[in-house]
Every structure is written in C-alpha cells, then in structure tokens.
Amino acid sequence: MTTRIRQVACLGILSGLLLAGCSAAQPQTENTLASSSLGTSTSTAEGSTPEPTSEPSSGPSSSSEASTSPAVPSSTHGTEAPKTIAEQAQALARKMSPSQQAASLVMAGIPAAGATDGEISQLQKQGISNIFLRGRSQLSVSQTAEQVKKAAGALEQNLPQDLPVWVATDQEGGFVRVLQGPGFSELPTAQKQGQWSQATLKSRLAGVGAELVKAGINVNLAPVADVVPKSIGTANAPIGYFGRQYGDNAQDVASSVLTANQSFAEAGVQPVVKHFPGLGKVTANTDVSSSVTDSTTGADSPDLAPFKKSIAQDLSWVMISNARYTKIDAKNDAPFSSKVITGLLREKLGYERLVISDDLCEAQQVESVPVGQRAVKFVAAGGTMPLCVNTENSLVMAKALADKAEGDAAFAGKVQDAAALVLQEKLRQQK
C-alpha cells in the first residue's frame, strides 16, 4: 500500500474486508507476518561516548544466537473493527506471541555505514523491527538511503503490512552527528544553535529533518533537553563538555527543544527528548563511568521544565538517562527505576507515549547487570523500548524479554502493553 488514501482506508477497516481490500495477497512464510488492515515502514544512543578528550563514538558488537519468530495470526473475518488507534494496536498486540511482542520492543544498533547480510539476517530471524544507525558514517544521503532500504526492507516482514520499520540515529549537531557524508548538514553544537533565533533554528533543523527523511530515517534521538548550569559547564562530561545543551537555564533550553521537536516532526521525523530527568548536574559520563549519581535533581526540579513542556506539546518521545537520582530513587539507576519512569514521568508528569532507554548494552553505568536483565528491568520499571547499540546483544535482550514473559504473567502483561504502545505509535505515524 503506497498511497495516503489506501493507508486511511486500511485504518478504517481492521477486519472483515481487510484481507480483500487493504493488502496484496502474498505467500506466507514462517517468518512473515500475516496481513492486517493496518498495512507495513540517542545517552546517548550514539553508543559509548569516550572520556571528555575525544568525540563520542559507538562501540563494537559481541555475540548471541538469534531465534525465529512465528507469524502473527491474520485478523478474523466478521470481527467489529476497533474504533481508535489504541484499540487497533491492542488488537494487533494480542495476536502476537510473547516472542514477537518482545522483539517488537527492542531497538538494535547496526553500523551507520551499512550492516552485513549476516547482521540483517539475525535481526530478521529474531523478529526485530527497529534499528539504530550507530557510529559515524561518511556515506552520502543517497548511499545511506540504499543501506537503510536494504536493512529495513528485510525487517518489514516482522510487522503487520505497511507499518514502518523504525530507523533511528543521533543527529544532534557538533560532535554528536552520526551521518557526516555529502548532503548532510554540518550542524554546529546545540550550544551554538541555542544562540540562534527560534526562526533560524526551526529553518535549519527542518533542513536536517528533510535530509534524514531522504536517507530513510524516521526517528532522531534528539533534541537534548538537559540543562547544564554555568557553575558546572564543561565539567559536565556527557553534555557540557561537548556543548550538547541548548542553554544554561531551563527556559532557554525549553524554547529551543520545543522548536526542535516541531521542526523534526513537521519534516516527518520522530523527535526524542533526552535524557530524563536530566544529565546536566552530573560530572561523570554513564557511557564510560559507573556509579554516576545526581544528588540534586528531584521530582519538582525546575530543570524538568524542558521535559514537561515537551510532554504538553505532545510531539516527542522521552529517553531515560542511565544515571542514578538519589532524591527520586536512591536504590536504582533511572532505567531500572519505577519511581523515575512510572511514578515521575508517567504518573506525576502525565506522559503516555513511548519511553526509550539510553544505550543499555555498552554503557559502563549498567555493566554489572546481565545484558538480558537490563531489558527486563527497564520494561518492568515502565519503559517501552530498550536500546542496544550492539547488534548481537540486542538479540539477547529480545530473548530475555520473551523468556521472562513466558514464565511470568504479570510481566507478560507489561510486555504486551509495551508492544501495543509501539504499534500505536507506528499507526500514529501513518495519520
């Protein structure tokens, strides 16, 4: 289904006529999802950021065995079509096996310059349908689009027809700019962007969004919503040292973040504000250090304003920091804290959309937790999508989520709810 008209038509008839009118007849294979009326398409997620002496970069991969996901059952003729996107997503999620639900949650890293056939095959067999372009690439926009098409095309069969494969990257500007080849703007740091007028910022970021769309990318893990006080400045290793912040006060940061969200969203790219509840008060970097702790930020911190305003704007997702916030939860790092994700972000601030983690595979902060359990603990705390920049370890995460769901009914409910939220967001992008 390639036109807007057919997408809308498909959304209006989930069952009964769906197989006849909304999808082309295709032979089903063991790994191919059955047709539905819905049709098929960074923390930093840039990977391990080096010590504040060099540019952030992504790390290498390790190994794990992939497993094959069975097909999602076709919709049943005669069933009344759900009336809302949320209901449609819930109906689709219920048709998925625990393994399929689990795989749908994971965002797996692949090299920005192109994944190998073996890497793509592993992800396809596991049922993965979300990828992150990691590292740095000098490919042009058109060359990047070719590599994205190759990877995303292979993963489309892991989704109900015409729903998008999410292809994400980190295109903040400055040092954190994964795609650097011909056709991609040489965007300066957010610190410099924050000195522009809002009109200039909107225009420049709209251009960046257009470039990403041409390259086949539909998610940008930006903008940074962290507030780095002047008193800390470049001593803040993850953000301030690299000039990744839009300003040194919450009001200025919020203004630029909202403009960035709007620019990316209008271009057709999903923005992601990060790193909740803020990385501006720490000195060490969770990518390369452990026991990184913020003892200042609380549930009523003024520096939460950029996140609060983004939630009200309702254009962006939220990425969770890997640090620990002792005034909120002294016992757990943020990605494993229900007090941070469910209590503060969901319940107190009223955020209802997708929650993505910072990289959980190569960050030193979470190294003491087994790889698979990092994903399990994140989803158990209320998170939606664990991000893993390591291709093979992303398979470990998907399997760990599925295994836990198979033996734990309460956790299985969390996985199904998260899968429904992912599907809801993918349907929302089709509107």
Cis peptide before 275 (omega within 30 of 0): yes
Task: Work out the mean pLDDT of the chain and round it to a whole number.
Answer: 87
| pLDDT value for 160 | 87
- Cβ(103)–Cβ(129) under 8 Å? yes
What digits encode the pLDDT tens for the residues 304-354?
A: 999 999 999 999 999 999 999 999 999 999 999 999 999 999 999 999 999
What does the block give as tokens for 106?
């994971």
Confidence of residue 392 (pLDDT cuts 50, 70, 90): very high
What digits encode the pLDDT tens for the residues 194-250?
A: 999 999 999 999 999 999 999 999 999 999 999 999 999 999 999 999 999 999 999
| pLDDT value for 225 | 99
In a 13 Å sphere around the CA of 290, the CA atoms on its Cβ side amount to 6
Mean pLDDT for the stretch of residues 391-411: 98
**Residue 71 clears pLDDT 90, i.e. is over it:** no
**Residue 266 clears pLDDT 60, i.e. is over it:** yes
| pLDDT value for 230 | 97
| pLDDT value for 81 | 60
Mean pLDDT for the stretch of residues 117-130: 98
| pLDDT value for 51 | 41
| pLDDT value for 217 | 99
| pLDDT value for 54 | 38
CATH number at residue 179: 3.20.20.300
CB-based burial label for 29 (10 Å; 0-12, 13-18, 19+): exposed
Cα separations in angstroms, 217 against 17, 147, 151, 201, 361: 32, 11, 12, 20, 22
Rounded-to-integer distance, Cα 67 and Cα 99, Å: 9
**Residue 8 clears pLDDT 90, i.e. is over it:** no
- Cβ(277)–Cβ(307) under 8 Å? yes
Identify the domain containing residue 141 by its residue range: 4-428
DSSP state of 140: -
| pLDDT value for 430 | 79
Domain count, the chain: 1
